Amino acid sequence: MSRTAVIAGVGPGLGASLARKFVTEGCQVALFARTDAYIDALAAELGENAVAVPTDITDREAVAAGFEAVRDAFGPVDVLVVNASGGAWKGLTDISHAEFESALAVGVEGGLHCSQEAVSDMLAGDGGTVVFTGATSAVRGRGGAIGFSAAKFAVRGMAESMARELGPEGIHVAHVVVDGQILPSESGETDPGRGEETYLDPDDIAASYWHLVEQDRSAWTLELDLRPHVEEF
């Protein structure tokens, strides 16, 4: 069955791997990012089953317009992946109010805006799937990253609340804890002191996300914890 998927927060790492995996599995995929600098080229690579939709997910009206563009291109949304996050890597005494608010706006408010749009389609149809990308900081606050940690904790709570509210309506909501550093894209650089086996492969993470989409309703995953088999150090 063909599905329409929105991936909110697409860059050359996990977002790109998710887009490629979902298209390979027969989905029609909308790529959301703040600017079109990367997603236009990725959509061209993926072909007719992908569309770039430059969208600032912190802007409620922009999100509504973005989802309308997706519906015009592919129809109602069946799958949403909230992959966007932000946050200055600063501690309590260094972070500004604007930086803290920005972290919450991208991760939490942006996730809310996208979820409200996608879930309206799912409730009107035959259900669907919402997946949130979390991090180690969603379960264990990271020193020197108070904005990022606060946002990730909030997203985890939002996902769990949504799962309990929407599960009876046939909507699977899952939170993925990415417990480790993701292998950089070809344009990025790895730490010369680390082997690649200490990173998570974004293509393998994407495969796990697809498994969540395909799970039978009798055994849905609420939270998935992913980590490399080799410790970082």
Calculate the dihedral angle through the C-alpha atoms of 21, 67, 135, 138, rounding to the nearest 10 degrees. Answer: -150
Structure confidence at residue 156 (pLDDT): 97
Query: Rounded to whole angstroms, how far apart are CA atoms 147 and 154?
Result: 11
The closest of 233, 221, 139, 219 to 177, measured between CA atoms, is: 139
Structure confidence at residue 151 (pLDDT): 95
Low-confidence ranges of the chain (pLDDT < 70): 1, 185-197, 230-233
Structure confidence at residue 233 (pLDDT): 41
Which 3 state secondary structure label does DSSP give 173? strand
| CATH number for domain 4-226, candidates 3.20.20.80, 3.40.50.720, 3.40.50.10490, 3.30.300.30 | 3.40.50.720
The first and second tokens of residue 164, run together, are 């309990």
The closest of 204, 211, 212, 192 to 229, measured between CA atoms, is: 204
Count of alpha carbons within 13 Å of 126, Cβ hemisphere only? Answer: 5
The residue ranges of every structural domain in the chain are 4-226
Q: Write the pLDDT tens digit of every residue in 65-124.
A: 999 999 999 999 999 999 998 888 899 999 999 999 999 999 999 999 999 999 999 999
